[in-house]
Amino acid sequence: MANPAYAAASAAAVTPERVCGSGFARVANSKQAVRTPSKRTLGHVYLLYNRKTGYNCVVTIKTTNIGTPTFTMATITTQTHGTNPRTGGENEGRSVKHYLGPVKTYGKGRCVSYMGRIKDAGRNAAEGKSRWKDWGNCR
């Protein structure tokens, strides 16, 4: 049986910066709670940006059910401007114990929208979602 104290300690060592890698920094006000409809927080989704490379990175980190595999998702969508605006997205979803990411997409000169999702453990599991409502981090 897994040691819950060890699982919590190893999860606490996970930071969005470590997951995304060197050069990535959090975008101001980008930490969003992933909440169930009843407002229970299951974790957080973070948006980071690397000024040198122009890449955005999204990470979803669980704060509940740590060590128990639950479905988790991280999604980022980029938007271009001009005569032919387009959107393109990257997403990843799978059962994880601590966090999901990095999910990266090129974003220099583009706005982004991102989302995180975590499914609660149990038979009647609720799903928590978080989303930036508008396009942001336009670099």
CATH value at residue 33 = 2.60.40
Structure tokens at 70: 């639950």
Asked whether residue 58 is assigned to any structural domain, the reply reads yes
**Is 44 a member of any domain?**
yes
**42 inside domain:** yes
**Residue 87 tokens, joined:** 């959107």
Is the residue at 139 inside a domain?
Answer: no
The tally of domains found in the chain comes to 1
Q: Is residue 136 in some structural domain?
A: no
Task: Say if 127 falls within a structural domain.
Answer: yes
Indicate whether 119 belongs to any domain: yes
> Could you tell me which residues are beta bridge partners of residue 4?
none
Cβ burial 97-120 (10 Å sphere, 16+ → b, else e): bbbbbbbbbebeebbbbbbbbbbb
Q: Provide the whole-model pTM.
A: 0.82
Separation CA 73–CA 129 (nearest Å): 9
Q: How long is the chain?
A: 139
Show the domain range for 102. Answer: 4-131
For 16-54, letters b (16+ CB in 10 Å) and e give bbebbeeebebbeebebebbbeeeeebbbbbbbbbeeee
Q: What angle do CA 83, 87, 93 make, to 5 degrees?
A: 175
| 9 DSSP 8-state letter | H
Sequential pLDDT tens for the chain (139 residues) = 444 444 444 555 789 999 999 999 999 888 999 988 888 899 999 999 999 999 999 999 999 888 889 889 998 888 766 555 555 666 777 789 999 899 998 888 788 888 888 988 766 566 776 666 667 667 6
Q: Please indicate, yes or no, if residue 74 is contained in any of the structural domains.
A: yes
